[in-house]
Amino acid sequence: MASPADSSTLSGFLDYLRVERGSAKLTIAAYRSDLAQFAAFLEKRKQHLSAARREDVREYIQELFSNSLDGRSVGRKLSAIRHLYRHLLLDGKIDKDPTLNIDLPKQWKVLPKALSRAEVGAMLAEAPPRNETARGQALWLRDRAMLELLYAGGVRVSELADARLEDLKLEMGYILVRGKGDKERMVPLGVPAQMALQQYLKGSREVIAKTNSSPLLFLGIGGRRLSRQRVWQLVGKASLAPGRHASPHMLRHSCATHMVENGADLRTVQTILGHSDISTTQIYTHVALDRLKSVYAKHHPRAKARGNL
């Protein structure tokens, strides 16, 4: 709920739209909704609409993109915010427009969400179910193998669902993956991922497949192909352990982010993820830098200004 000051600011602007510009009810309702959402964002930062800064607007737009809002919707919300501040500027209520020189949404690069190492560890360390049927145990081993592969190789959901038995080269420690444009790449696997896949293949895959013969590595009950939606559901369920909802794409981002944090060069990360352009991989340097800044600010004794220095 907006503060009294923000409610007054919004009411004045909406009255202006209604009376001076003769805007339709639908337009006014859309502006009210978009601006109320922005006001709520500012309120969390203990900030008012009339005192918003350029960085507040930028971080708000970044949050919208991070929440998977499409560019058109973000553009509409930014347009509403721009109209509000132009009105306040012309009305003499503010002396600086915080939306000035804000990039268009299509020019923004969204920083991907990544799990911490502890959160990934909690997902992968989930204990096997007790007193479970043979099929239940088999499904658990399959799911654990998929989680390990998503994180170890940073593979996409479609790449995991399309992976074939013949693509897996456990004795050599890698898997062949077909990415976008049917481009094939070699993805190395760590020891935990190799062990999880080996345990899954030892007998669990046959239990799940029953008599159905399939060339695919991961199968649904009865040997059916796993859908992308099903993989998302399985990852979401596994993320209950760390207490933060995760997606397969977050495991991919986590793989890249943790590699960069540990000093991996961008060309190697680009090759493993299958990015056609290294500029896509470069966003992970920003993610790693943001995390470094956060850790530094939290733990270094001289990170924050002291009044008695």
> Is 249 one of the annotated active-site residues of the chain?
yes
Three-point CA angle 2, 6, 9, nearest 5°: 140
Return the number of other C-beta atoms located less than 10 Å from residue 105's C-beta.
Answer: 20
Q: Give bridge partners of residue 174 from the DSSP assignment.
A: 169, 188
User: Any idea which fold 117-296 has?
Assistant: hpI Integrase; Chain A (1.10.443)
Are the beta carbons of 208 and 142 closer than 8 angstroms? yes
> Is 253 one of the annotated active-site residues of the chain?
no
Catalytic residue among 142, 156, 205, 258: 156
Are the beta carbons of 30 and 84 closer than 8 angstroms? no
Please choose, from the candidates 130, 129, 138, the residue with its C-alpha nearest in 3D space to the C-alpha of residue 220. Answer: 138
Those residues with Cβ within 8 angstroms of residue 143's Cβ, 6 or more apart along the chain or in another chain: 234, 238
Where are the chain's structural domains?
4-107, 117-296
Catalytic residue among 87, 252, 253, 258: 252
- Please state at what angle helix 134-153 crosses helix 248-261, rounded to 10 degrees: 50
**pLDDT score recorded for residue 69:** 79
Question: What would the 3-class secondary structure string for 176-196 be?
Answer: EEECHHHCEEEEECCHHHHHH
**pLDDT score recorded for residue 199:** 94
pTM for the model stands at 0.62
Q: Give bridge partners of residue 178 from the DSSP assignment.
A: 184
> Is 286 one of the annotated active-site residues of the chain?
no
Catalytic residue among 224, 237, 249, 291: 249
**pLDDT score recorded for residue 195:** 95
> Is 16 one of the annotated active-site residues of the chain?
no
The series of mean pLDDT values per 10 residues for the chain, 309 residues long, is 76 81 77 92 90 90 81 87 90 88 66 83 85 88 96 93 94 91 89 95 90 88 90 92 87 91 88 84 71 74 61
Catalytic residue among 96, 180, 210, 225: 180
Q: How many CA atoms lie within 13 A of 265 on its CB side?
A: 3
Top CATH class, 4-107: mainly alpha
- Please give the backbone phi and psi of residue 169, each rounded to the nearest 5 degrees, phi first: -120, 70
**pLDDT score recorded for residue 291:** 65
Whether 4-107 and 117-296 share one fold: the answer is no
**pLDDT score recorded for residue 307:** 47
**pLDDT score recorded for residue 168:** 96
